[in-house]
Amino acid sequence: MDLVPTNQQHQTYVDTDTGLYHLVSLDDDGTPTSLAIIAQSNGVVDTVNLSSVVIQHETHEVHEQNHYFIKTVGTLEGAAAVAYVMFRTPDTTTKIHARFAISAEAEFNVKIYEGATVSDDGAAMTGFNNWRDSTNTPELAPFAGPTVTTPGTLFWEAQTGTGKRATGVSPGFGYPLVVKRNSIYLFKITKAAASAHYYDIDFWWYEEVPHNI
């Protein structure tokens, strides 16, 4: 062990052999003795508070270049007009952690179905990587305007617009969906009013390969 001081006032040292940060005591001759490891290898330490510097896991996935988003606007005209957006999940062990938010200038109903079947995918949508220099592309495949054969199992529904808050698995209190492998998730957006109105869609997700399958 080769301990080198990082903050002598608070007696924090780093082991240059392992990269581990230690809280130490100093002998009479100034030799450091480790009392405790305060951060793991390759960690970042706040040596004032003697604590590890951490970030949210979702932000970590941005830094790992595995975080993606779609941001778009659509228009529907006519009462009960419908728009569909679908996501095909990969048949792999990759876990998709997904969130979304939808808002509108008029009243809309939003439903999410799991296990839909379609006869045509519609137009492919692009999931952009949050790390803009990254060449990574998502395994999750999004499409707009699929031809729906059966919608699948309805498991989420909400109403938005006309003064109602933006609806979704939202960033405000936030809970992600860890979606099912090899399935189709169908978003059905239905407008209540007859005139044309905009709706605003925000999807974001990250993809990780679990260590324990």
Which CATH code for domain 58-208?
Answer: 2.60.120.510
User: Rounded to the nearest 5 degrees, what angle is found at the Cα of 94, between the Cα atoms of 99 and 87?
Assistant: 45
What stretch(es) of the chain map to CATH 2.60.120.510? Answer: 58-208
pLDDT on residue 129: 97
pLDDT on residue 23: 64
CB-based contact 64:136 (threshold 8 Å): no
Q: What share of the chain is helix, strand, coil (3-state, %, to 5)?
A: 5, 50, 45
CA distances from 206 to 57, 59, 176, 212 (A): 10, 10, 10, 18
pLDDT on residue 148: 98
β-partners of residue 190 are 82, 109
Dist. CA 107–CA 105, nearest whole Å: 7
**Which residues touch 148 (CB under 8 Å, ≥6 apart)?**
84, 116, 117, 118, 186
Q: What does the buried/exposed string (b/e) look like for 53-65 if buried means 16 or more CB atoms within 10 Å of the residue's CB?
A: eeeeebeebbeeb
Dist. CA 99–CA 107, nearest whole Å: 21
Which stretches of the chain drop beneath a pLDDT of 50? 7-10, 41, 170-173, 212-213
β-partners of residue 114 are 153, 185
pLDDT on residue 108: 85
